[in-house]
C-alpha cells in the first residue's frame, strides 16, 4: 500500500476485523477500532466461547503495542444506536478510510427466533445507514470498504459465472429496440443475515449516486483458517475461532470436529457448493481494496472476495481421509437447494496481485493442531447446528449427532 492512512475499523474486535486491524497497523497505518463488543455478549448469550482464549480488546491492543511499538486505538461505540457519537468521532478524527465489519455475521444466528431476526436487521441495516449518513453530514470524503458476502447472489445454479457485482442486461423498449445497461446482480438472500447484506447494497448504490460517497463492497466467501502472520507474533494476539453451530464456518467446524473425535456433520446431501477464502487472503484483499479506491462520483466498486469453491461433502470426505473421522449425514436446518453449482468470477483481485492460498494439507493440519491444543475448551453440546430456517424444518433437526442422549430402557 502507498502512503500511510488513518483507518477506522468498525467491528475490529471480530473474526476478520481483528487480524485486519493488526495487518494494517503492521503496514504502518494509524488504526482505530470502533466496536460495541456485541460478539462477546453473544458468546455469553449462547453459552459458548471461542476455541482460542481471547483477552479483552484493551489487553490485545496493549500486547500489540508491546510487541511492535505501534498503537491500535479503541472506541466503545454502538454504531447502530450511537449515531451522534459516531458522527462526532468522524468529524473529530477524519479518517481517510472506513472498513465496515460491524454487522452480526452469522446466518444461523439470524434465523434462531423472531428476536434474533429483529436484532440482525436492526443492528446491520442501522449500522450501515448511520455510517453513510454521518459521512455525508460531516462532509468526510473517506473511502468506505464494506465486508459483504457471496450469499447476496444466492446459491442457485444458472449455468453461468457470477460476475463481480454487475450484470449486463438488455431491456426491450417500447419501440422494439434493445436498451443495454448494467444492473446489480439480482439479489437472492438465503437468510435474514444475507438479506441485510442485500439491503446494504442498495444503501451503497443510493449514497454513491446521490452524495458521491466512495464505496467498495467485498462479496466474501466463507473464511477458513486460524492464523495470519500478525496473530502469530504473540499468543495473546490469537484470533477468535468459532466451532458452534451458529458461528462456526463449515470447514473450520469439520477440522475441530475431527480434532475432538466428533463426527463430521454434513447436512442434507452435502451438495451445497460454497466459495472459500483463507483468513490471510481475506486481510490481504482488504488491503488491496484500500489501495484501489473508486473515484468520487463512481458507482460502487464490487469485488468477489473468494479464491476457490468446494462442495460440502467433498470437504467432509477430504477431512475424513486426512484424519480418519466418521461423517454424520444429518437433516438440513436450512431452506436451500440440496445441490448447486457455483462458478464465480474473481479476476479483479488476481489482477491486483493476489496469490491465493488454497486448501493444502499443511494449513488444514495446522487448524487441527490448534483445535487439539484447546480441545478442553469445547462444549460438545454446542457443536450441532440447531437453528432452523422454518418451524417445519425445526421438527426434523438432529440435536444429538453423537447419539449420547440418554435413552429409555422400556
Residues 343-356: tens digit of each pLDDT: 899 999 999 999 99
**Inside any domain, residue 317:** yes
Residue 110: name the closest of 321, 334, 373, 280 by CA. 334
The whole domain housing 165 covers 6-395
**91 pLDDT higher than 50:** yes
**Inside any domain, residue 409:** no
What's the rounded Cα separation, in Å, for the pair 215 and 205? Answer: 9
Task: Provide the residue count of the chain.
Answer: 410
**Quick check: 154 and 162 in contact, CB under 8 A?**
no
Q: What is the pLDDT of residue 114?
A: 97
State the average pLDDT for the chain: 94
User: What is the DSSP annotation of 107-148?
Assistant: HHHHTS-HHHHHHHHHHHHHHHHHHHHHHHHHT--PEEEEE-
Contacts of 140 by beta carbon, 8 Å cutoff, 6+ apart: 90, 91, 94, 95, 134
- For residue 223, CA distances in Å to 36, 81, 124 come to 22, 28, 19
**Quick check: 359 and 306 in contact, CB under 8 A?**
no
Catalytic residue, from 52, 61, 120, 149: name it.
149
Query: Which residues does residue 75 pair with via DSSP β-bridges, in sequence order?
Result: 34
**Inside any domain, residue 373:** yes
**65 pLDDT higher than 90:** yes
Task: Report the CATH number at residue 134.
Answer: 3.40.50.720
**DSSP structural state of residue 56:** -
Report the half-sphere exposure of 139 (CA within 13 A, side-chain side).
1
Backbone angles phi, psi at 386, to 5 degrees: -120, 0
Catalytic residue, from 87, 112, 117, 197: name it.
197
For the question of residue 149 being annotated catalytic, the response is yes
Q: What is the pLDDT of residues 210-266, one digit of tens each?
A: 999 999 999 999 999 989 999 999 999 999 999 999 999 999 999 999 999 999 999
**Inside any domain, residue 21:** yes
Predicted TM-score of the model (pTM): 0.95
**Inside any domain, residue 310:** yes
**Inside any domain, residue 405:** no
Q: Is residue 263 left, alpha or beta, with left meaning phi > 0 and alpha meaning psi from -120 to 50?
A: beta
**13 pLDDT higher than 90:** yes
**Inside any domain, residue 410:** no
For the chain, the domain total comes to 1
Would you call 179 exposed, middle or buried from its count of C-beta atoms within 10 A (0-12, 13-18, 19+)?
A: exposed
What's the rounded Cα separation, in Å, for the pair 221 and 153? Answer: 11
Residue 165: name the closest of 126, 214, 220 by CA. 220
Q: What is the pLDDT of residue 410?
A: 43
Catalytic residue, from 83, 185, 193, 262: name it.
193
**Inside any domain, residue 401:** no
For the question of residue 153 being annotated catalytic, the response is no
Amino acid at each position: 500500500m502507498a502512503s500511510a492512512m488513518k483507518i477506522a475499523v468498525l467491528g475490529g474486535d471480530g473474526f476478520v476485523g481483528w487480524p485486519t486491524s493488526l495487518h494494517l497497523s503492521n503496514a504502518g497505518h494509524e488504526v482505530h477500532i470502533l466496536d460495541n463488543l456485541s460478539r462477546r455478549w453473544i458468546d455469553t448469550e449462547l453459552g459458548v466461547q471461542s476455541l482460542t482464549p481471547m483477552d479483552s480488546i484493551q489487553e490485545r491492543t496493549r500486547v500489540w503495542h508491546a510487541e511492535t511499538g505501534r498503537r491500535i486505538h479503541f472506541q466503545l461505540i454502538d454504531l447502530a444506536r450511537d449515531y451522534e457519537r459516531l458522527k462526532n468521532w468522524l468529524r473529530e478524527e477524519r479518517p481517510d478510510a472506513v472498513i465496515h465489519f460491524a454487522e452480526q455475521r452469522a446466518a444461523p444466528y439470524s434465523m434462531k427466533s423472531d428476536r434474533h431476526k429483529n436484532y440482525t436487521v436492526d443492528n446491520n441495516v442501522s449500522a450501515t445507514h448511520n455510517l453513510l449518513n454521518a459521512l455525508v453530514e460531516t462532509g468526510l470524503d473517506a473511502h468506505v470498504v464494506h465486508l459483504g458476502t457471496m450469499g447476496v447472489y444466492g446459491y442457485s445454479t444458472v449455468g453461468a459465472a457470477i460476475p463481480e457485482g454487475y450484470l449486463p442486461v438488455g431491456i426491450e423498449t417500447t419501440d422494439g429496440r434493445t436498451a443495454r445497461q448494467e444492473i446489480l446482480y439480482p439479489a437472492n438472500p438465503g437468510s435474514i443475515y444475507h438479506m441485510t447484506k442485500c439491503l446494504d447494497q442498495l444503501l451503497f448504490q443510493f449514497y454513491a449516486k446521490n452524495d458521491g460517497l466512495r464505496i467498495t463492497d467485498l462479496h466474501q466467501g466463507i473464511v477458513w483458517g486460524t492464523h495470519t502472520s500478525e496473530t502469530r507474533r504473540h499468543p495473546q494476539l490469537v484470533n477468535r475461532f468459532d466451532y458452534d453451530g451458529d458461528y462456526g464456518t463449515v470447514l473450520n467446524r469439520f477440522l475441530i470436529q475431527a480434532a475432538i473425535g466428533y463426527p463430521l456433520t454434513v447436512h442434507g446431501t452435502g451438495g451445497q457448493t460454497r466459495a472459500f477464502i483463507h483468513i490471510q487472503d481475506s486481510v490481504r484483499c482488504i488491503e488491496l481494496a484500500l489501495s484501489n479506491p473508486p473515484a468520487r462520483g463512481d458507482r460502487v466498486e464490487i469485488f468477489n472476495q473468494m479464491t476457490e469453491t468446494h462442495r460440502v461433502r467433498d470437504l467432509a470426505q477430504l477431512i475424513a481421509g486426512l484424519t480418519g473421522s466418521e461423517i454424520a449425514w444429518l437433516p438440513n436446518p436450512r431452506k436451500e437447494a440440496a445441490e448447486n453449482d457455483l462458478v464465480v468470477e474473481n479476476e479483479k483481485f488476481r489482477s491486483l496481485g493476489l496469490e491465493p492460498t488454497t486448501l493444502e494439507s499443511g494449513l488444514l493440519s495446522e487448524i487441527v493442531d490448534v483445535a487439539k491444543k484447546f480441545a478442553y475448551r469445547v462444549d460438545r453440546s454446542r457443536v450441532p447446528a440447531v437453528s432452523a430456517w422454518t418451524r417445519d424444518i425445526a421438527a426434523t433437526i438432529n440435536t444429538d449427532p453423537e447419539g449420547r442422549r440418554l435413552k429409555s430402557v422400556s
